[in-house]
Structure 1
Amino acid sequence: MNEGAADPGLYDFRPYRDRARIEWPNGKAVAVWVSPNLEFYEIDPPANPQRKSWPRPHPDVVGYGHRDYANRVGHWRMAEVMEKHGFKGSVSLSVALCQHHPEVVADANDRGWEFFSHGIYNTRYSYGMDEAQERAIIEDSIRTVREATGQTIKGWLAPALTHTPRTLDLIAEYGMTYTCDLYHDDQPAPVHVKSGRLVSMPYSIEVNDHYGFFVYNMSPREYAETLIRQYDRLAAEGESNGTVMCIPLHSYLIGQPHRIGPFEEVLRHIAADGRAWITRSGDIADHFLANGYDAVAADASRYAKADA
């Protein structure tokens, strides 16, 4: 039998039953965090030989203009609705936005939102990078966000979800405490890295608005109903062992006039339910590192011994 490439061993296997218990503050069942992707897309970026930035020949005015709606209109509409219902954003940030549209970054910072890095531009990919190039992007992200907001980033979501085999080790080496790049669970868990402690933060592909509208072709109402079903199930399961719900957003999508109303109903539903710890990703990571990390790591060793 051809076994293929070896399992990289990024995290331990733990069945979704009989796990060490995770508890959230004030007895809440599910930690809910909203992740607006505040991004900058170049209209005619340098070509990466492994992936084209735009489906049409460059410059793709349609793709660029659609996404630029986020920074000119969509962000403000989305942010006001979130603020109205008590949701602080955890921003997946294209850090070049700090120079291109500092007003957007300043608005999010003034609202008490957290920032983590989504690379420099969302039109430049990690494919083919050497270690020096990847380190330069991480260092640029830390420096630029600190200068623009006063915050030191704790987390990472790779640009356009593109990675190298060394990405997780490097962000842990630079002191980050969580990654949003593993999509494999509804609870946080330790990631195996060469140094430091790194948490896998649940970040959903399934209820990401990009997938909802571009991949699954949902209507605004269908997407809102999907988010409510996601929340209700995770809250019910979280009553016995704390879960995490992430709502990843792009304001050029969710901030459109015809979509924002159903989305506001989702926020109203979650805020009124009473089982949600409405928080930010870094706060979830901090709480888990202080209160759950060691127990979960020890719990995972049970299954490692069983498989030995």
Structure 2
Amino acid sequence: MKLPGQDRYAPSAIVSRPDYAWPNGSKLAVLIFTNIEHHAFRTGLGSDSAVPGSPQTQRNYAWRDYGNRVGIWNILSTLDALGLPAAHNCNSTALDLMPEIGRALVARGDEFIGHGRTNAERQDGLWEEDERRLIRESRDGIAAHAGTAPRGWLGPWLAQGPATLDLLKEEGFDYVMDWPADDQPFWMSTRAGPILSIPYSIELNDSPAMVFRQHSGRQFADMVVDQFDEMLEQSRERPLVFSLVLHTFVVGQPFRLRPLRAALNHILGHRDQLWITKPAELATHVRSLPRGIVPGSELLPPG
């Protein structure tokens, strides 16, 4: 029996890989992401605060819009107070409707990541020509606010079609985060050359945790601490990437900020053992490593 498979990356057991370190000699990299999203009014795709799969209404539209009007500012204030950098998965439409967000991210020196035009749509199921248009429009729309094109991509709903990786590479993207297969980065093949997969957690992610599984803010904060403590211990054996994913309309609610702040302070208590960075910087470092260190690096051109 032959089951369907994928040919983008080869099997690789993390315990069998070469060892390496991050730029400051640490073994645990820390990435913090926010998701800055826009949803169509009363139509399209979108999550609901109370009932998963609920129809699109003015209520859940407004709940998600809270993230851009209030939640992102609560999160940025928290990150500012703790001196933490972040990367932001941006729907280009969200930045168009609220340009103050883009200006704030530029002022912080944070990273913009392509996240489609809107989370009211998915890119899988599109004709290749239409998907390329979606990618280009998102890339160019973000560049208009960031001043430079994004290097990384996270598809709306982490959705990809058969040619998505090829299109992203051809349109100038260096890395993707839609393949949550590892706690280390690895190279993937495309028809235009390799593209890097950077770890992006769908478990340590406030939307599935608190919206779909209905965990409380304190339960989520406990998850953050437990994930961090375990990965810090495991990183004695091998380099790892700890990623924390925050949605502005979820953890941006004030009552969830307090337990999140406590969890972040716990992480910062180990700051001298960490590389707190952004994904583009991580991708640059990975590209500088010798061939044979990172899984899939044999796909890279010599030199």
TM-score normalised by L of structure 2: 0.91
Q: Residues 265 and 57 (structure 1 numbering): CA distance in 2 closer, same or farther, change over 3 Å?
A: closer
Alignment deviations for residues 131-150 of structure 1 (CA, whole Å, 9 cap, x no partner): 11111112112221222111
The amino acid across from 2:32 in the alignment is V
Which residue is equivalent to 2:241?
Answer: 244
Q: Distance in 1 between matches of 2:130 and 2:77?
A: 37
Residue 76 of structure 1 pairs with residue 73 of structure 2: yes
Which residue is equivalent to 2:9?
Answer: 11
Which sections of structure 2, spanning at least 5 residues, go unmatched? 48-52
Which residue is equivalent to 2:178?
Answer: 181
Q: Is the 8 A contact 2:90 2:116 kept in 1?
A: yes
State which drifts further: 35-44 or 209-218.
209-218
Q: Distance in 1 between matches of 2:274 and 2:235?
A: 10
What is the CA distance between 1:181 and its match in structure 2? 0.3
- Partner of 1:26, secondary structure, is coil
Q: Map residues 161-200 of structure 1 onto 2, 5 A cutoff.
A: 161-200=158-197
Runs of 4+ in 1 over 3 A off after TM superposition: 52-58, 297-301
- Partner of 1:211, secondary structure, is helix
The amino acid across from 1:4 in the alignment is L
Q: Distance in 1 between matches of 2:133 and 2:199?
A: 26
- Identity across the alignment (%): 30
Which sections of structure 1, spanning at least 5 residues, go unmatched? 302-308
Q: Residues 251 and 120 (structure 1 numbering): CA distance in 2 closer, same or farther, change over 3 Å?
A: same
Q: How many aligned positions are there?
A: 293
Q: Distance in 1 between matches of 2:213 and 2:29?
A: 25
What is the CA distance between 1:226 and its match in structure 2? 0.7
Which residue is equivalent to 2:50?
Answer: none
Q: Residues 293 and 227 (structure 1 numbering): CA distance in 2 closer, same or farther, change over 3 Å?
A: farther
Residue 115 of structure 1 pairs with residue 112 of structure 2: yes
- Partner of 1:207, secondary structure, is coil
Q: Is the 8 A contact 1:22 1:292 kept in 2?
A: no
Q: Is the 8 A contact 1:179 1:198 kept in 2?
A: yes
Q: Is the 8 A contact 1:12 1:300 kept in 2?
A: no
Q: Residues 22 and 194 (structure 1 numbering): CA distance in 2 closer, same or farther, change over 3 Å?
A: farther
- Partner of 1:248, secondary structure, is strand
Alignment deviations for residues 196-230 of structure 1 (CA, whole Å, 9 cap, x no partner): 33111100011100111123322211111110111
- Partner of 1:92, secondary structure, is strand
What is the CA distance between 1:173 and its match in structure 2? 1.5
Q: Residues 235 and 292 (structure 1 numbering): CA distance in 2 closer, same or farther, change over 3 Å?
A: farther
Q: Distance in 1 between matches of 2:286 and 2:297?
A: 14
Q: Distance in 2 between matches of 1:281 and 1:82?
A: 17
The amino acid across from 1:36 in the alignment is T
RMSD: 1.9
Q: Map residues 125-274 of structure 1 onto 2, 5 A cutoff.
A: 125-273=122-270, 274=272
Q: Is the 8 A contact 2:286 2:294 kept in 1?
A: no
What is the CA distance between 1:297 and its match in structure 2? 3.8
State which drifts further: 265-274 or 244-253.
265-274
Q: Residues 53 and 240 (structure 1 numbering): CA distance in 2 closer, same or farther, change over 3 Å?
A: closer
What is the CA distance between 1:22 and its match in structure 2? 2.9
What is the CA distance between 1:16 and its match in structure 2? 2.3
Q: Residues 292 and 175 (structure 1 numbering): CA distance in 2 closer, same or farther, change over 3 Å?
A: farther
